[in-house]
């Protein structure tokens, strides 16, 4: 880990129709750290994550990942704008709520899809990297299986390997366990925790509070499209200063 910000976000604003979902988001994430976004549904946390990957295009704000920076207020229209968004997108790998695996392709074929077709890397190199990544997520022996032959947790671990196969600077997780049965959550969280501890830069949207406590170097609590509170997990989760944060944590940890 270094003191160099790998992710820089300044003044991020985004609306859907008349609804303003981001109202000036600012934060930085250092290289090799994990940032966790917490907040109620509709708070804007997933929109922040999708903006980092240029899956959503904000109206205003600047996002930088290492040496690639986009000022969305100045983003050109047409092909040039799409090219700039694609450059930003290429800096990160996204792990979605749903696994989104190709059902007619094996686990290995799913993982090498991006490196071979999008990045034009040699197939032999992509296969070797994919097998190493599948070993890392505990699925080395399932390389020739099809998604229908895997549990939900295993499919999500394939999704993580697929994101890592692109060799991104940043890995983004959007509620990676929300679609899983409770007994499968732990195996996916263990893989993400291992990635975070091994030096990957991650941004994670989750409602798994205990997991957030264990993995986060920085916690951002969002509500109403703004960052209400920020700090370490001990500060934001263990001893929050804002009533909105305390109310949210009570509701999550004591739902009754």
The pLDDT tens digits along the chain (256 residues) read: 456 789 999 999 999 999 999 999 999 999 999 999 999 999 999 999 999 999 999 999 999 999 999 999 998 888 889 899 999 999 999 998 887 899 999 999 999 999 999 999 999 999 999 999 999 999 999 999 999 999 999 999 999 999 999 999 999 999 988 878 888 889 999 999 999 888 899 999 999 998 999 999 999 999 999 999 999 999 999 999 999 999 999 998 876 5
CA torsion through residues 129, 212, 218, 58, sign = positive
- Position 183 scores a pLDDT of 83
- What are the start-end ranges of the E strands in the chain? 5-16, 19-30, 34-38, 60-65, 68-71, 92-95, 170-174, 201-205, 218-223, 226-231
Tokens of 23: 């109202």
My answer on whether 54 and 85 are in the same domain is yes
Domain end residue (candidates: 167, 184, 206): 167
- Position 136 scores a pLDDT of 94
**Cβ-based neighbours of 173, under 8 Å, separated by 6 or more:** 95, 192, 202, 203, 204, 205, 206
My answer on whether 176 and 126 are in the same domain is no
Domain end residue (candidates: 116, 146, 167): 167
Whole-angstrom distance, CA of residue 117 vs CA of residue 156: 21
| Ranges of H-type helices in 170-231 | 182-197, 209-215
My answer on whether 49 and 72 are in the same domain is yes
My answer on whether 255 and 187 are in the same domain is yes
Domain end residue (candidates: 150, 167, 184): 167
- Position 160 scores a pLDDT of 95
My answer on whether 175 and 154 are in the same domain is no
- CA distances to 39, 124, 140 from 129, in Å: 36, 9, 12
Whole-angstrom distance, CA of residue 92 vs CA of residue 48: 13
Residue 45: phi and psi, rounded to 5, are: -65, -40
Per the structure, the complete domain to which residue 182 belongs is given by: 1-91+170-256
My answer on whether 207 and 138 are in the same domain is no
Count structural domains, the chain. Answer: 2
My answer on whether 8 and 67 are in the same domain is yes
My answer on whether 142 and 242 are in the same domain is no
My answer on whether 67 and 175 are in the same domain is yes
Q: What is the pTM of this model?
A: 0.93
My answer on whether 157 and 232 are in the same domain is no
Q: Can you tell me which residue has the tokens 């990676």?
A: 176
Whole-angstrom distance, CA of residue 105 vs CA of residue 112: 11
My answer on whether 122 and 76 are in the same domain is no
Span between the terminal Cα atoms of the chain, in Å: 40
My answer on whether 61 and 143 are in the same domain is no
């Amino acid at each position: 880990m270094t003191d160099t910000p790998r992710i820089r976000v300044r003044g991020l604003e985004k609306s859907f129709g008349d609804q303003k979902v981001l109202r000036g988001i600012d934060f930085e994430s250092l290289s090799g750290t994990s940032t966790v976004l917490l907040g109620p549904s509709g708070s804007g946390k997933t929109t922040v994550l999708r903006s980092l990957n240029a899956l959503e295009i904000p109206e205003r704000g600047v996002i930088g990942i290492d040496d690639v920076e986009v000022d969305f207020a100045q983003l050109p229209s047409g092909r040039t704008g799409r090219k700039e968004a694609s450059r930003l997108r290429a800096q990160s790998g996204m792990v979605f709520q749903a696994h989104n695996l190709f059902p007619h392709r094996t686990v290995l074929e799913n993982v090498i899809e991006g490196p071979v077709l999008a990045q034009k890397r040699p197939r032999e190199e992509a296969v070797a990297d994919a097998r190493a990544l599948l070993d890392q997520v505990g699925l080395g022996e399932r390389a020739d299986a099809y998604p229908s032959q895997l549990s939900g947790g295993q499919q999500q671990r394939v999704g993580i390997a697929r994101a890592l196969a692109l060799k991104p600077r940043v890995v983004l997780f959007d509620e990676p366990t929300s679609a899983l049965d409770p007994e499968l959550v732990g195996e996916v969280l263990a893989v993400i925790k291992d990635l975070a501890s091994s030096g990957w830069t991650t941004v994670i949207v989750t409602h798994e509070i205990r997991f957030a406590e264990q993995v986060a170097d920085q916690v951002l609590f969002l509500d109403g499209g703004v960052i209400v509170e920020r700090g370490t997990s001990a500060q934001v989760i263990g001893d929050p200063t804002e009533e909105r944060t305390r109310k949210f944590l009570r509701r999550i940890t004591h739902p009754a």
